[in-house]
Amino acid sequence: MPRPAGDRRAKGDLEAEVLAVLEQTAEPLTPREVGERLARPLAYTTVMTVLARLHEKGLAERERAGRGYAYSFLRDEAGRRAVQMRRLLGEEDQRADVLARFVGELSPEDEDVLLRLLGGDPRGPSA
């Protein structure tokens, strides 16, 4: 049954609610477990769709749990950014061009960090 117009969530509220549930637990949760912890009941498929979108945006991690997935909050800002960057690289046929342009825009300091990382330098990015 559709919700009355005054009872609608603002854009992004549902994602924020689901993300809050994930943030409150250290264990990965299945869509069913997330749905059970929400303030208002939602259809399983709705929760599953929101979780998949959060994963695509780099805000949640997922791991296999039986035939489906269990999701957890991605707490690390660097991890979230890395997922977003990987998504922005685009299709396989565009990746080389995108990476080449990205590297061309790096500062000399960032180039040094990247070279250390690619070379397996144990000092990593903070050296």
Q: How confident is the model at residue 8 (pLDDT cuts 50, 70, 90)?
A: low
Please name the residue that has the structure tokens 């707490």.
75
Q: What is the mean pLDDT of residues 70-76?
A: 88
- What pLDDT was estimated at residue 1? 47
Q: CA–CA separation, 69 vs 101, rounded Å?
A: 35
User: Do 12 and 62 fall within a single domain?
Assistant: yes
Asked, for residue 78, whether it belongs to a domain, the answer is no
Confidence at 10, pLDDT banded by 50, 70, 90: low
Same domain, 37 and 61: yes
Residue-wise pLDDT for 104-121, tens only, equals: 999 999 999 989 888 877
**Residue 91 to residues 53, 59, 61, 84, 103: CA-CA distances in angstroms?**
19, 21, 21, 14, 18
Q: How far is CA 55 from CA 46, 64, 124, in A?
A: 14, 13, 27
Domain match, 66 and 98 both: no
Q: What is the CATH number of the domain that holds 44?
A: 1.10.10.10
Enclosing domain of residue 102: 89-126
Instruction: Give the total number of structural domains in the chain.
Output: 2
CA atoms within a 13 Å half-sphere pointing along the CA-CB vector of 82: 8
**26 CB-near residues (< 8 Å, 6+ apart):** 72
User: Quick check: 38 pLDDT over 70?
Assistant: yes
